[in-house]
Structure 1
Amino acid sequence: MAGLGPDMSALILLSRENLIGCLNKIPGRKQLVLEPELTRPLDRIAGMSTLSKTGVESVIKLERGPVPPMQPNLSRVYFISANLIQAKYVADQISSQIVGESVLSPIHLVLVPRKLTSIENLFEEEGISGFVTMHQFSWEFIPLDFDLLSLELPSFFRNQFLGQDHSGLVSVARALWGIQSIYGDIPNLFAHGKSVKKLLNLVNVFSLQYGQPRTKQADIGYIYIFERDIDYASCLLSPLTYEGLLDEVFGISCGTVEFPKEVTGTDTTTKLQLSSKDKMFEKIRNKHFATIFSVLGVTAKQLSAAQAAASSMNINEMKSFVQNDLKHMKTQSKAVALHIGASERIQKLKGRMLETQLPVEHTIISAENIRDSITYIEERMAQLVPANISLRLICLLSYCSDGLTQNDYTRLKTQYIQAYGFHHIITWSNLTNLGLIKIKGGELGKIGVVSQVAGLVGAQNKTTGFQGLVRKLGLVSSSENLSLSDPNTPGYVFNGAYTPVACKVVQELIKAVSLTGKTGAAGAKTSFSGTSLVTEALKFSPGETIIDMKSPGAPKLGLVLFVGGYTMAEVAAFRWLQAATGWELIIAGTGNISANHIISQCEKL
Structure 2
Amino acid sequence: MDITKKLLSLQEISKAQLSKILNLVPSKKNLILEPDLIKPLERVCGVKWLKGNGVEKIFKLESTSLESDTLSNFYMIYSDTRVFKKVVDQIRSQVNIENPIKDKYHIIVVPRHICTFENELEELGLLYSVVRIHSFQWMPLHLDTGLLSLEIPDIYSSLFVYQNLTYLPTLSKCLWHLSFVLGKPRLILAIGQCSNSLMKQYEEYCEVRGESDRLESDVGALIIMDRNIDYTSALLTPGNYAALLCEVYTVSAGVCEKKQEESIKFDEKYNPLIEKQPLHFSLDSTKDSIYCDIKNRYFTEVTSVLSNLTKELRTEKMNSKEMALDEIKHYVQTQLQTTKIKKKCITNHLLAAESIINLLGHRYENQKEIEQNIVRNNEKSTNLNFLEELLNIENDKYITLRLFCLLTHFQSLTESEIRSFWLKFLHQFGFKYGFAFQNLISTGFIPEPVQNTSSLNLQAKLKIPKFTSSNSHVNAKNLKQIPADPSKVNLKFPTCASYVFGGNYIPLITQIAGMLLNSIPIEEIRTKLEALGTLSIRNEKGYPLQNRTVLIYVLGGVTYAEMAACNLLETLTGAQIIILSDNVITGNDLMKGILDYPK
- Determine helix, strand or coil for the equivalent of 2:431: coil
- Determine helix, strand or coil for the equivalent of 2:519: helix
Q: Which one of 471, 475, 495 corresponds to residue 469 of structure 1?
A: 475
Q: Which one of 545, 561, 565 corresponds to residue 553 of structure 2?
A: 561
User: Hey, what does 1:524 align to over in structure 2?
Assistant: none
**Partners of 2:192 and 2:226 within 8 A in 1:** yes
Alpha-carbon separation, structure 2, partners of 1:304 and 1:162: 52
Between the aligned residues of both structures, percent identity stands at: 28
Change in CA separation of 1:511 and 1:418 when aligned onto 2, cut-off 3 Å: same
Change in CA separation of 1:80 and 1:489 when aligned onto 2, cut-off 3 Å: same
**Partners of 1:91 and 1:126 within 8 A in 2:** no
**Partners of 2:227 and 2:555 within 8 A in 1:** yes
Aligned ranges 1:129-168 → 2 under 5 Å = 129=127, 130-168=129-167
Asked if residue 542 in structure 1 is aligned to residue 533 in structure 2, the reply is yes
Change in CA separation of 1:3 and 1:255 when aligned onto 2, cut-off 3 Å: farther
Q: Which one of 352, 363, 369 corresponds to residue 362 of structure 2?
A: 352
- Determine helix, strand or coil for the equivalent of 1:128: coil
**Partners of 2:161 and 2:593 within 8 A in 1:** no
- Per-residue deviation, 1:67: 1.3
Could you tell me which amino acid in structure 2 is paired with residue 554 of structure 1? Q
Change in CA separation of 1:3 and 1:594 when aligned onto 2, cut-off 3 Å: farther
User: Hey, what does 1:189 align to over in structure 2?
Assistant: 188
**Partners of 1:231 and 1:500 within 8 A in 2:** yes
- Determine helix, strand or coil for the equivalent of 1:31: strand
Alpha-carbon separation, structure 2, partners of 1:16 and 1:256: 20
- Per-residue deviation, 1:553: 5.4
Change in CA separation of 1:392 and 1:317 when aligned onto 2, cut-off 3 Å: same
Deviations 1:238-258 (A, max 9, x none): 111111011001121110111
Alpha-carbon separation, structure 2, partners of 1:214 and 1:448: 65
Deviations 1:395-427 (A, max 9, x none): 1111112x5311111111111111221122133
User: Hey, what does 1:516 align to over in structure 2?
Assistant: none
What's the TM-score once normalised by structure 2's chain length? 0.91
Q: Which one of 294, 297, 305 corresponds to residue 307 of structure 2?
A: 297
Deviations 1:485-511 (A, max 9, x none): 111211001000111111111112211
Q: Which one of 379, 397, 406 corresponds to residue 389 of structure 2?
A: 379
Q: Which one of 57, 60, 79 corresponds to residue 76 of structure 2?
A: 79
Change in CA separation of 1:322 and 1:469 when aligned onto 2, cut-off 3 Å: same
**Partners of 2:221 and 2:545 within 8 A in 1:** no
Alpha-carbon separation, structure 1, partners of 2:586 and 2:18: 30
- Per-residue deviation, 1:442: 4.4
Deviations 1:454-475 (A, max 9, x none): 77x85xxxxx621221121111
- Determine helix, strand or coil for the equivalent of 2:561: helix
- Per-residue deviation, 1:203: 1.8
Q: Which one of 272, 280, 288 corresponds to residue 298 of structure 2?
A: 288
User: Hey, what does 2:568 align to over in structure 1?
Assistant: 576
- Determine helix, strand or coil for the equivalent of 1:7: helix
User: Hey, what does 1:121 align to over in structure 2?
Assistant: 119
Change in CA separation of 1:269 and 1:543 when aligned onto 2, cut-off 3 Å: same
User: Hey, what does 2:415 align to over in structure 1?
Assistant: 406
Q: Which one of 65, 68, 71 corresponds to residue 66 of structure 2?
A: 68
User: Hey, what does 1:422 align to over in structure 2?
Assistant: 431
Asked if residue 600 in structure 1 is aligned to residue 597 in structure 2, the reply is no
Moved more, 104-113 or 53-62: 104-113
Could you tell me which amino acid in structure 2 is paired with residue 154 of structure 1? P
**Partners of 1:493 and 1:572 within 8 A in 2:** yes
Could you tell me which amino acid in structure 2 is paired with residue 70 of structure 1? S
- Per-residue deviation, 1:589: 0.5
Structural RMSD (CA): 2.7
**Partners of 1:400 and 1:466 within 8 A in 2:** yes
- Determine helix, strand or coil for the equivalent of 2:137: coil
**Partners of 1:108 and 1:134 within 8 A in 2:** yes
- Determine helix, strand or coil for the equivalent of 1:167: coil
- Determine helix, strand or coil for the equivalent of 2:509: helix
- Per-residue deviation, 1:109: 1.3
Q: Which one of 343, 347, 356 corresponds to residue 353 of structure 2?
A: 343
Alpha-carbon separation, structure 2, partners of 1:161 and 1:444: 27
Alpha-carbon separation, structure 2, partners of 1:553 and 1:470: 25
Could you tell me which amino acid in structure 2 is paired with residue 202 of structure 1? Q
Change in CA separation of 1:399 and 1:442 when aligned onto 2, cut-off 3 Å: farther
Alpha-carbon separation, structure 1, partners of 2:407 and 2:538: 32
Deviations 1:365-389 (A, max 9, x none): 1111112111221222233531222
Asked if residue 585 in structure 1 is aligned to residue 577 in structure 2, the reply is yes
Alpha-carbon separation, structure 1, partners of 2:549 and 2:81: 40
Q: Which runs of 5+ in 1 are unaligned?
A: 459-463, 514-526
Deviations 1:156-209 (A, max 9, x none): 111111121212121211221122101222222222111223212222333345
**Partners of 1:465 and 1:540 within 8 A in 2:** no
Alpha-carbon separation, structure 2, partners of 1:43 and 1:222: 31
Alpha-carbon separation, structure 2, partners of 1:272 and 1:358: 28
User: Hey, what does 1:218 align to over in structure 2?
Assistant: 217
Change in CA separation of 1:164 and 1:372 when aligned onto 2, cut-off 3 Å: same
Asked if residue 275 in structure 1 is aligned to residue 284 in structure 2, the reply is yes
User: Hey, what does 1:490 align to over in structure 2?
Assistant: 497
Moved more, 234-243 or 536-545: 536-545
**Partners of 2:156 and 2:557 within 8 A in 1:** yes
User: Hey, what does 1:503 align to over in structure 2?
Assistant: 510
- Per-residue deviation, 1:3: 8.2
- Determine helix, strand or coil for the equivalent of 1:540: coil
Asked if residue 394 in structure 1 is aligned to residue 394 in structure 2, the reply is no
Alpha-carbon separation, structure 1, partners of 2:442 and 2:222: 30
Moved more, 370-379 or 280-289: 370-379
Could you tell me which amino acid in structure 2 is paired with residue 588 of structure 1? L
User: Hey, what does 1:41 align to over in structure 2?
Assistant: 40
- Per-residue deviation, 1:124: 2.6
- Per-residue deviation, 1:234: 0.9
Could you tell me which amino acid in structure 1 is paired with residue 61 of structure 2? L
Change in CA separation of 1:553 and 1:362 when aligned onto 2, cut-off 3 Å: closer
User: Hey, what does 1:252 align to over in structure 2?
Assistant: 251
What's the TM-score once normalised by structure 1's chain length? 0.90
Q: Which has the higher helix share?
A: 1
Asked if residue 368 in structure 1 is aligned to residue 378 in structure 2, the reply is yes
Could you tell me which amino acid in structure 2 is paired with residue 206 of structure 1? Y
Aligned ranges 1:307-326 → 2 under 5 Å = 307-326=317-336
Alpha-carbon separation, structure 1, partners of 2:443 and 2:42: 33
Alpha-carbon separation, structure 1, partners of 2:69 and 2:277: 32
Deviations 1:246-286 (A, max 9, x none): 10011211101113449xxx999432111112001111111
- Determine helix, strand or coil for the equivalent of 1:166: coil
Change in CA separation of 1:581 and 1:303 when aligned onto 2, cut-off 3 Å: same
**Partners of 1:364 and 1:397 within 8 A in 2:** yes
Q: Which runs of 5+ in 2 are unaligned?
A: 262-274
Change in CA separation of 1:280 and 1:135 when aligned onto 2, cut-off 3 Å: same
User: Hey, what does 2:197 align to over in structure 1?
Assistant: 198
Deviations 1:552-595 (A, max 9, x none): 45321111111111011101111111111110111110111212
User: Hey, what does 1:519 align to over in structure 2?
Assistant: none
